[in-house]
């Protein structure tokens, strides 16, 4: 006889207009994660996911062919095969109940250098940030807060210990709502770029030379900013969230630090075979007055250069989705849509498709990662040029943060507007796409326009 499946656990708990209440309460369990739509501050998001204490974690660091590890060999097991195997054990669970997006699974990040590994691009830059290139925890329970229907559930995968779940529920529901003062977060020094304007200009000219030589059409060129800090990273995230709320935000804690992402951009989602990606290309700062703001927004909407950049990436992503989607199912649902955030205006496009039956979520993810909006086109050649010209590793910047559910569904962001705290050092990045008619002063300034509000809201000691 067929053995009936053990159903996942779904228990209603009080809805919170601000999910940070639940994140705060479970931090004591360790390795807390928060997939944050910022729906209490902006429109457009719906679900927040909170969890902690993963059952196990996949950590992986790319060792390129020019490097060796401590044993003198470069052969490593693929982290994506580990993910595939774990999902294969869980696929029979079916879809999450109650129409929820997540009932447990992997939550974490894929760093940019793991995309270099997928594309076969050598890593020669200094590793200034020493986090693993992939960190994905297997979370067997989660809080899912639904801001549209104003409901909230504690969910757990089948077989999760009932006594432990009861203890977690008690922490969530009955903990003292009064928050003791965190150790305030303070920067010890202002953020400093790893690139002067003259260095940026020289690198910019090399990119333009590559474009004129026909190597590529567009290259995303970035700067890394760094400082040191003391205090609580959760305090820093709450400040950042208030200053620039964004629909694909995330906060994650680990032993040596935390990641704080206020991303406006979705990389990819997979929901019951339906695939979507929403690339951003084209940026203007917000104006100081309503009139100035409108002028800047209209200039972006009518910019032939920014539209051309956006279209290049749309074409690249249509090709990436074509590796895993049903032929004829890929559509450009929106093109050059203006989206305004607290710090910048962006042009956003939307591409959708349907996953083929002979592929799976990991095929989709590895076929598209890293997102084309933060590499350039063609992707591999642009990444090779980035590897040649940028002096330090990107780490989490231009990677992705989010979840791969136990049923295979995905929701991952593009990790822009993202800060990494690593052993009391804090890093942030800003960049932009360079094309043939780019102007160096404007591109250099765009790096600051994108992150000024982030880095300036954090207090100095």
3-state secondary structure of 315: helix
pLDDT of 413 over the 80 cut: yes
Q: What is the pLDDT of residue 70?
A: 47
CA separation for the pair 346, 337 (Å, rounded): 8
CA separation for the pair 71, 76 (Å, rounded): 11
pLDDT band at 5 (very low <50, low <70, confident <90, very high): low
Q: What is the pLDDT of residue 98?
A: 81
- Average pLDDT (376-387) is 95
Which of 113, 117, 253, 281 is catalytic? The answer is: 281
Half-sphere exposure of 308 (CA within 13 A, CB side): 10
pLDDT tens digit string along 209-265? 999 999 999 999 999 999 999 999 999 999 999 999 999 999 999 988 999 999 999
- Average pLDDT (281-290) is 87
Higher pLDDT, 411 or 311: 411
- Average pLDDT (49-55) is 98
With beta carbons less than 8 A apart as the criterion, state whether 143 and 51 touch: yes
Domains in the chain, ordered, with CATH? 9-179+189-456 (3.60.120.10)
- Average pLDDT (195-200) is 96
CA separation for the pair 258, 249 (Å, rounded): 13
Question: 């964004």: which residue's tokens?
Answer: 246
With beta carbons less than 8 A apart as the criterion, state whether 233 and 212 touch: no
pLDDT band at 179 (very low <50, low <70, confident <90, very high): low
Q: What is the pLDDT of residue 93?
A: 65
pLDDT tens digit string along 440-450? 999 999 999 89
CA separation for the pair 264, 373 (Å, rounded): 13
Share of the chain above pLDDT 70, in %: 93
- Average pLDDT (42-46) is 76
Q: What is the pLDDT of residue 2?
A: 44
What sections of 151-194 are H helices per DSSP? Answer: 162-174
With beta carbons less than 8 A apart as the criterion, state whether 51 and 26 touch: yes
Question: 């790319």: which residue's tokens?
Answer: 62
Least-confidence region, from 32-36, 43-47, 346-350, 428-432: 43-47
**CA geometry: angle 383, 268, 14, nearest 5 deg:** 135
Q: What is the pLDDT of residue 3?
A: 44
pLDDT of 72 over the 70 cut: no
Annotated catalytic, 301?
no
pLDDT band at 76 (very low <50, low <70, confident <90, very high): low
CA separation for the pair 230, 297 (Å, rounded): 38
Higher pLDDT, 282 or 135: 135
pLDDT of 379 over the 50 cut: yes
Phi-psi region of 316 (alpha: psi -120 to 50; beta: other; left: phi over 0): alpha
Q: What is the pLDDT of residue 91?
A: 64
With beta carbons less than 8 A apart as the criterion, state whether 135 and 59 touch: yes
pLDDT of 4 over the 50 cut: no
Annotated catalytic, 265?
yes
Which of 140, 265, 390, 443 is catalytic? The answer is: 265
What sections of 304-439 are H helices per DSSP? Answer: 304-322, 361-368, 379-389
pLDDT tens digit string along 96-146? 888 899 999 999 999 999 999 999 999 988 899 989 999 999 999 999 999
Average of per-residue pLDDT values in the chain:
91
CA separation for the pair 8, 15 (Å, rounded): 20
pLDDT tens digit string along 303-354? 888 898 888 889 989 999 999 999 999 999 999 899 888 778 889 999 999 9
């Amino acid at each position: 006889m067929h053995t009936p499946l053990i159903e996942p656990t779904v228990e209603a708990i009080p809805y919170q207009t601000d999910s940070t209440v639940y994140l705060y309460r479970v931090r004591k369990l360790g390795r807390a994660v928060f997939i944050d739509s910022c729906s209490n501050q902006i429109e457009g998001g719906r679900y927040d996911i909170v969890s902690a204490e993963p059952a196990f974690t996949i950590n992986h660091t790319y060792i390129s062919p020019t490097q060796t590890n401590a044993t003198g060999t470069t052969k490593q097991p693929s982290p994506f095969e580990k993910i595939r195997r774990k999902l294969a054990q869980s696929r029979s669970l079916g879809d999450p109940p109650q129409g929820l997006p997540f009932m447990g699974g992997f939550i974490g990040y894929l760093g940019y250098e793991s995309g270099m590994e997928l594309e076969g691009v050598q890593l020669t830059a200094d590793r200034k940030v020493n986090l693993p290139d992939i960190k994905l925890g297997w979370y067997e329970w989660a809080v899912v807060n639904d801001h549209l229907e104003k409901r909230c559930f504690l969910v757990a995968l089948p077989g999760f210990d009932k006594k432990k779940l009861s203890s977690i529920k008690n922490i969530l529901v009955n903990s003292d709502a009064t928050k003791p003062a965190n150790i305030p977060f303070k920067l010890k020094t202002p953020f400093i770029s790893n690139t002067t304007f003259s260095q940026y200009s020289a690198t910019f000219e090399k990119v333009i030379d590559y474009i004129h030589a026909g190597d590529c059409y567009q290259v995303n060129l970035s700067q890394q900013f760094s400082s040191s800090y003391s205090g609580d990273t959760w305090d820093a995230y709450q400040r950042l969230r208030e200053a620039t709320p964004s629909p694909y935000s995330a906060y994650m804690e680990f032993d040596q630090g935390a990641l704080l992402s206020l991303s406006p951009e979705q990389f990819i989602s997979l929901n019951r075979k339906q695939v979507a990606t929403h690339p951003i290309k084209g940026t203007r700062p917000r104006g100081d007055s309503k009139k100035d703001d409108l002028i800047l927004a209209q200039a972006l909407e009518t910019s032939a250069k920014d539209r051309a950049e956006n279209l290049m990436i749309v074409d690249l992503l249509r090709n990436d989705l074509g590796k895993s989607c049903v032929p004829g199912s890929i559509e450009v649902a929106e093109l050059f849509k203006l989206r305004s955030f607290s710090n910048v205006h962006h042009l956003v496009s939307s591409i959708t498709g349907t996953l083929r039956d002979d592929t799976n979520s990991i095929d989709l993810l590895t076929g598209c990662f890293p997102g084309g909006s933060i590499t350039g086109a063609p992707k591999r050649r642009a990444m090779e040029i980035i590897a040649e010209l940028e002096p330090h590793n990107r780490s989490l910047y231009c990677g992705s943060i989010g979840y791969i559910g136990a049923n295979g569904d995905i929701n991952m962001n593009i990790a822009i507007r993202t800060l990494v705290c690593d052993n009391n050092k804090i890093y942030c990045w800003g960049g932009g796409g360079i094309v043939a008619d780019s102007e160096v002063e404007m591109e250099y300034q765009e790096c600051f326009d994108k992150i000024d509000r982030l880095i300036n809201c954090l207090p100095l000691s």
